[in-house]
Amino acid sequence: MEMMKAIAMRKSARSYKPEQISDESLKNIINAGCAAPIGRGMYDTVYLTVIQNSEILKKISSTAANVFGTPSSDPLYGAPTFVLVSCIPNKQFPNIELANAACVIENMTLAATDAGLGSVYILGALCAFSADQTLIKELNLPEGFVPVSGIVLGYPTEPLTHEKELKQIIKTNVIK
């Protein structure tokens, strides 16, 4: 798929088939994430955790749903894969970890679209890790890393077929 087509076809998919994505697709998506720009080139301050264990996924989702006050919802949308981006915060450059994670996730979401997979940027459900400290332990994060953002991946129940028109929906001021 051409890059502009992948950009036009990407959209958040919020309903997934239970079928797992292939290891090859996962590898391509992770490699795309790893090709993202990272502030000051500090790739060792970013850490990816691929969660495909259904018990852990359920625990994250139900903990977050309870925090949201909607216990019957599924903030991970039944997706079989959740890639969590964790970072080491940097006091000198506040919020650089959010920007880094966003770059990694955008590359992954475009690679997923290119492979015909669905994806959604996940920020809200990360409240599960502060609500239940035992969940963090299950991730085995290296010292100093904190969860920043994530992305769920899977086969969407509705395939991505719509190519949206690329237009300026964000107000833009060009100063020449």
Ligand X SMILES: Cc1cc2nc3c(=O)[nH]c(=O)nc-3n(C[C@H](O)[C@H](O)[C@H](O)COP(=O)(O)O)c2cc1C
Q: Which residues bind ligand X (CB under 6 A)?
A: 11-12, 14, 120-125
Rounded to 5°, angle at Cα 161 from 157 and 163: 140
**CB of residue 38 vs ligand X: minimum separation in angstroms?**
17
Cβ nearer to ligand X, comparing 22 with 131: 131
Cβ nearer to ligand X, comparing 12 with 54: 12
Q: How far apart are CA 112 and CA 109, in angstroms?
A: 5
**CB of residue 75 vs ligand X: minimum separation in angstroms?**
6
Alpha carbon of 55 to those of 11, 77, 82, 172: distances in Å? 27, 14, 12, 45
**CB of residue 23 vs ligand X: minimum separation in angstroms?**
25
Cβ nearer to ligand X, comparing 167 with 176: 167
Cβ nearer to ligand X, comparing 124 with 142: 124
Q: Residue written as tokens 């949206």?
A: 164
What residues contact residue 137 under an 8 Å CB cut-off, 6+ apart?
Answer: none
| DSSP H stretches of helix in 69-132 | 96-114, 127-131
**CB of residue 110 vs ligand X: minimum separation in angstroms?**
12
**CB of residue 162 vs ligand X: minimum separation in angstroms?**
10
Cβ nearer to ligand X, comparing 115 with 122: 122
Residue 14 has phi, psi (to 5 degrees) of: -120, 25
